[in-house]
Amino acid sequence: MPGATDVLDFSLLTDGLDAEREQGITIDVAYRYFHTARRGFIVADCPGHEQYTRNMATGASNAELAVVLVDARKGLLPQTRRHTYICGLLGIRQVVLAVNKMDLVDYDQATYEAIAAQYRVLAQSLGIAAVHCLPVAAPTGDNVGSRSPRMPWYAGGSLLELLESIDAAPFQAADFRMPVQWVNRPDHSFRGYAGTICGGSVACGDEIVVQPGVQRARIERIVTADGDLQRAVAGQAVTLCLDREVGVSRGDVIADALRPAPVADQFTCHLLWLGDAALLPNRTYWLKIGTRTVNARVMSIKYKVDVNSQSRLAARHLELNEVGYCTVGLDDAIAFEPYASNHTLGGFILIDRLSNATVACGMLDFALGRSANVHWQHVDIDKSVRGASKGQRPLCLWFTGLSGAGKSTIANLVERRLHTLGYHTYLLDGDNVRHGINKDLGFTPEDRVENIRRIAEVAHLMVDAGLIVLVSVISPYRSERRSARELFAEGEFMEVFVDAPLAVCEERDPKGLYQRARAGEIRNFTGIDSPYEKPETPDVHLQTAGQRAEQLAEQLTERLLAEQGGIGSVD
């Protein structure tokens, strides 16, 4: 039991980690549950320090109300602005401002009112419409559980009274939307589409559309575990049965046919970066929105936001806890809503495709106009026809490895051999490409990602033209090599790892680059001060130390001819 002079440390209720108690700060989100006679509560205690912004965003992501604490002695600090900005970004529409430690400013009314006025201006600028302010002295409970006699000038309710009375109903979108989570087909006599309604309501007989397509049907039954319903509303988990068979799968959105959701594959959005490694534009990630997962890449960062001051700053990448306003492109079109209209169809996460870690959360703003204006044009002559006319099957050979490993030498020898046999080929060498379409790119991680993306797209076009294209480029990152592979159909891409120890590559050093890199004349040189991620399961692994390039090239050519059925027939 505490003594007469002891004061309870209420932070221990939520700061359960040893590091939190040792440092006297909140590090991770702690959830606590309580209820009164009028309402039940889930409190997410979030950290305030900048390095834990992602933890704060995690706690705020599902909140309906934010309580922002301000020290009456210090007023609005950068972290107050940061927290309020994140709250506004994540769609929290109501904030309770608790001006704490009023006992340390002698319960001064003027101090409280000045802080409250400043905060209301800040909240309004960030799109937060409702702000409820009150003065408190937390350790002694003044204006926390009951009204305090020490501040008779304050006429409002206590913190608990505010929390009990504020209308904090979850935000609901107006139009009917339901992402399909599961196709429910227990036997041949029943087919339904299960999911949780994330907007509006639906009734039996209503006409719906299955998006991103245009198939229409009517609702025949609304099935739940407790029996059929005539009408279902947002927040309910239901199974919808349609009056006719249409193609519906997980990730599709069933929407009101009269007011369908927009469909697009390019957007602007706010992005809060959660990954320890930086966001690199044009790297491919998985984007999960609703129940749909698609490939996505951040095409550009328009600016990043200083979350302490809300200033807009130029940026080429985003680091941990940074917020950027970006353009995002997807492999497939999706049904969506702006985050301000529908949190389920407007909020998304990005997932690293190699580690499966969640690296960002995002809020869609609007679709880019070009998304709706650009369409695939049908052509009658495709790559199979073009390849057949050349007597070969189109293919991409992707040579990767350190500088000096022998990529270009072997690729050149393979092309010579194929050309001699009458095949139609083209060699894309990394250095040569940098004299042309990639002339504007340097060797930063961001530029390396874009360099590989462009080369892969060019190689894809050449394969579409019916050619056998050989790509010789360091391509140091697994993620980009994987993205390159995914551009091609099954059997059209072969990753060739040209492997040599770094010491051997340095000894060869055909262009003198290692020597210059060791001398500090070249920065971001792969193998020295920039990483090379070796292929884990290459299609071909060529170890060049102690072996002649001509022998390896001949072995690779013979393998190509054998595994690809001769690739084609040459007269």
Q: What positions carry a catalytic annotation?
A: 475
Q: Is 568 in a helix, a strand, or coil?
A: coil
The Cα angle at residue 562 between residues 558 and 568, in degrees rounded to 5: 100
Q: Is 249 in a helix, a strand, or coil?
A: coil
DSSP 471-523: EE-----HHHHHHHHHTS-TTSEEEEEEE--HHHHHHH-TTSHHHHHHTTSSS
Closest to 368 measured CA to CA, from 213, 252, 263, 255: 263
DSSP 106-164: TT-HHHHHHHHHHHHHHHHHTT--EEEEEE-BGGGTBTTTB--TT-TT--S--HHHHHH
Distance CA 471, CA 452 (A): 10
Q: At which residue do the structure tokens 């929390």 appear?
A: 163
Distance CA 504, CA 277 (A): 30
Contact indicator for 7, 139 with CB cutoff of 8 Å:
yes
Burial 160-190 (b: 16+ CB within 10 A, else e): bbbbeebeeeeeebebbbbbbbeebeeeeee
Distance CA 341, CA 347 (A): 10
Q: 10 Å Cβ neighbour count for 6? A: 8
HEC string for 305-357: ECCCCCCEECCCCECCCCEEEEEEEEEEEEECCCCCCCHHHHEEEEECCCCCC
Sign of the alpha-carbon dihedral angle for 95, 100, 102, 103: positive
Q: 10 Å Cβ neighbour count for 136? A: 24
> For helices 53-60 and 78-89, what crossing angle results, to 10°?
40
Residue 126 phi, psi dihedral angles, 5° rounding: -100, 10
Contact indicator for 39, 163 with CB cutoff of 8 Å:
yes
